[in-house]
Amino acid sequence: MNITFSEVTKTFEPDITALFDISLNIEQGEFVYVVGQTGSGKSTLLRLITREILPSAGVVAVGGYDLRRMRRADVPYYRRDVGLVAQDFKLIQSLTVYENIAFVMEAMSVPKKLVTERTKDVINQVGLWRRRSMRPAQLSGGEQQRVAIARALANSPSLFIADEPTGNLDFHTAAEVMKILFAINAAGVTVVMSTHNQAIVNASRQRVIELENGKLIRDEKGGTYSG
């Protein structure tokens, strides 16, 4: 799924410009780091892709569809093709690890047998099978992050959005999470990940989009990040 931003500006009430005149294109199967300081507009850019927010000006198109013109009833169907890992995990606290992951497939009316198989599969992929009956509050930050990744993988999305997925993790756990993300990308899934972790960006040399005060200041293939 390719992503296109054409002269996108996002202003929040009363008058805070989070992104200004952003134009970029991300091709299907790319791995892209969105980097920048806190408050540079990274999360806003990702939230525009997931259609949590709409641009104040310009066009955000995913897979050729202008997200602003998308009907509200179609949004859930679009999101089923977008795997999202949020900075704060966004797990349902009242559900167990297994139930959190199964939920995304159940919402699509996938038969129970397939839900069971796929849930087991993705939980194993992130190495949390023994924790499947626990609730998010009983898990460490790293484990919750892995649950969020497993949930995002459950629907086999063609676009994977990760907002600071290693932000709360120690180096070892962060490396594990990155391994999973590279594996997802290797399967042809577009991955857009925001981070300000220099070590991670510099270790893999992927495309780097750098933001500063809401403006795109660098878009470099095989780039690095010096903070």
Q: Which of 6, 9, 17, 90 binds other proteins (CB under 8 A)?
A: 90
Q: Does 107 bind other proteins (CB under 8 A)?
A: yes
Q: Does 80 bind other proteins (CB under 8 A)?
A: yes
Q: What minimum distance in Å lies between the beta carbon of 128 and other proteins?
A: 18
| Residue placing its CB nearer to other proteins in the complex, 18 or 181 | 18
- CA dist 104 and 115 (Å) reads 9
User: Among the candidate windows 26-34, 35-43, 87-95, 168-176, which touches other proteins by CB under 8 A?
Assistant: 87-95
Strands (E), 95-189: 159-163
Q: Does 111 bind other proteins (CB under 8 A)?
A: yes
| Residue placing its CB nearer to other proteins in the complex, 12 or 129 | 12
Strands (E), the chain: 3-12, 16-26, 31-35, 57-62, 65-66, 82-85, 159-163, 190-195, 207-212, 215-220
- CA dist 205 and 201 (Å) reads 6
- Side-chain-facing half-sphere of 183: CA atoms under 13 Å: 13
- Binding stretches for other proteins (CB under 8 A): 12, 50-54, 72-73, 75-77, 79-80, 84, 86, 90-95, 103-104, 106-112, 151, 155
